[in-house]
Amino acid sequence: MTNRQITIAELPKGALTPANFALRETEMPQPAEGEVLLRTILMSIDAANRSWMQGATYRDAVNAGDAMPTYALCEVVESRSPRLAKGDIVAVESTWSDFVTRPAHKCQKMPDVRPLSHLMSVYGIAGKTAFHGLISVGRPVTGETVLVSAAAGSVGSIVGQIAKALGCRVVGIAGGAEKCAWVISELGFDACVDYREPGLGKALRAACPDGVDVYFDNVGGSVLEAALFAMNTRGRVVCCGAVSQYDSTAPTGPRNLPGLVVVKRLRMEGFIVMDFAQDDAKALKALQTWVAKGQIKVFEDVVEGLENAPAALIGLLAGENRGKRMVRVGPDA
């Protein structure tokens, strides 16, 4: 039996293309003592995949020849460790592969959640990032205005719905009129502004008549620049990511830093979801409550087949997805 794996054929010099990837057949991996053999069920497709190709971030850089790293949900098919048994479902730092071996202690055994895909979306990294970033970094108060970019994406869609559940006025930023209409009708945002249209600053002022108290920034660049102008005094800017910069050779930054931060007394703070791991149980409980009450609707965008992972990532960066994008490599156990 052989295994399939997607590697980096060549690091991108500009926008990512299918030529940057190669599909390889490899030997079936064999678990050593203390390891497990894992069958991949779902792989997370993240904007961060692209940023790892630009150099070291909060993790090592990805280089040509490497199998593409990913967060994955897998089934244990063979165990050489007392920690895990055949049939267990685990979350693990893996690669774009049908099968991988991993030390059992690096696998996190998952509870029996149905559908399994929710462990990738609302109860996975996307949901936790939205919760911790908004609650612990943004600290919104009922009645305040919360602005969020990449509003139809996996993190942004949950941020806005949490803010609504907390009684805030919620305004999204997304690409295209149709997507913006969807953000309002399906996610329940109060307004949504199309950043691809000229005049973003004016549109933000119109959508946020009382100014912005919390801006949850997923994109950086010129959108961040426009959002800074809309901030109220003592506003909070939650720096979650900078997807507008990942797939470009000519990054653009906000030109109004640090001037506006000083004048408006803004607090601008970055975070990585793992920083708040001690609060994960609290996050999960709150997310489950909002989902049960219908205050968070879960949107998942599932692409079928390992071989389609490169196209799934390229499409994510072009804004194809609504909600959490993932690739299904195999059936649930």
Ligand X SMILES: NC(=O)c1ccc[n+]([C@@H]2O[C@H](COP(=O)([O-])OP(=O)(O)OC[C@H]3O[C@@H](n4cnc5c(N)ncnc54)[C@H](OP(=O)(O)O)[C@@H]3O)[C@@H](O)[C@H]2O)c1
- Judge contact between 30 and 37, C-beta under 8 A: yes
Question: CA-to-CA distance for 45 and 22, rounded, in angstroms?
Answer: 17
Residue 328 within binding range of ligand X, rule CB under 6 A: no
Residue 272 within binding range of ligand X, rule CB under 6 A: yes
DSSP element (H, E) containing 204: helix 200-207
DSSP element (H, E) containing 160: helix 154-165
Question: CA-to-CA distance for 157 and 287, rounded, in angstroms?
Answer: 13
Residue 156 within binding range of ligand X, rule CB under 6 A: yes
Site for ligand X in 20-59 (CB under 6 A): 46-48
Tokens representing residue 58 in the block: 């909060």
Residue 174 within binding range of ligand X, rule CB under 6 A: yes
Torsion of CA 192, 193, 195, 199, to 10 degrees: -170
Among 317, 326, 327, 329, binds ligand X (CB under 6 A): 317
Residue 266 within binding range of ligand X, rule CB under 6 A: no
The minimum distance between CB 131 and ligand X, in angstroms, equals 11
Of the ranges 93-101, 108-116, 163-171, 314-322, which one interacts with ligand X (CB under 6 A)? 314-322
Of the ranges 14-22, 123-131, 161-169, 281-289, which one interacts with ligand X (CB under 6 A)? 123-131
Question: Residues 77-116 vs ligand X: string with x where CB under 6 A?
Answer: ----------------------------------------
Residue 219 within binding range of ligand X, rule CB under 6 A: yes
Residue 150 within binding range of ligand X, rule CB under 6 A: yes
Which segments within the chain are labelled E, that is strand?
A: 2-8, 21-27, 35-44, 69-79, 89-95, 99-103, 108-109, 145-149, 169-174, 191-194, 212-217, 231-239, 267-270, 300-304, 324-328
What Å distances lie between residue 205 and 85, 147, 202, 212, 234, CA to CA?
56, 11, 5, 9, 17
Among 76, 126, 226, 230, binds ligand X (CB under 6 A): 126
Q: Phi/psi at 152 (nearest 5 deg)?
A: -90, -5
Of the ranges 29-37, 61-69, 78-86, 173-181, which one interacts with ligand X (CB under 6 A)? 173-181
Positions in the binding site for ligand X (CB under 6 A): 46-48, 125-126, 129, 150, 152-156, 174-175, 179, 195, 218-219, 223, 240-244, 271-273, 316-317, 319, 321, 325
